[in-house]
Amino acid sequence: MSIILVGGHDRLHDTYKGVGSKRGHKMKVYTQMPPKFEKNIGSPDGIVLFTSTVSHKMVGIAVKEAKRKGIPVIRCHNSSAGSLEKSIMELEGSK
């Protein structure tokens, strides 16, 4: 399963990727807004939003693309590795 994480802390980038790979998933992590963010999203199997550490604009773009492409979105206020793991398990349960 491919998962995109939107938000989080820059210093935990590798930790987030490690949590995803430990559960057998490909992770893309966006802690900052890249140019042409809507094009970078692609067609993942799920999107996890860390709402406390992300701009409103990034959330808007991610949610808009998810609705357009039928991608499930999990919102989480906490941006810890444990919260990411719980969110990934929730996505796994929805598939």
Which has the closest alpha carbon to 60: 44, 42, 75, 79? Answer: 75
Closest CA to 23 of 55, 46, 56: 46
pLDDT digits (tens, 9 = 90+) for 6-51: 999 999 999 999 999 999 999 999 999 999 999 999 999 999 999 9
Checking if the pLDDT of 83 tops 80, the result is yes
The rounded distance, in Å, linking the Cα atoms of 54 and 36 is 16
> Could you tell me the domains of the chain?
2-94 (3.40.50.720)
Distance (Å, rounded) from C-alpha 91 to C-alpha 19?
A: 14
- pLDDT-derived band of residue 95, with 50, 70 and 90 as boundaries? low
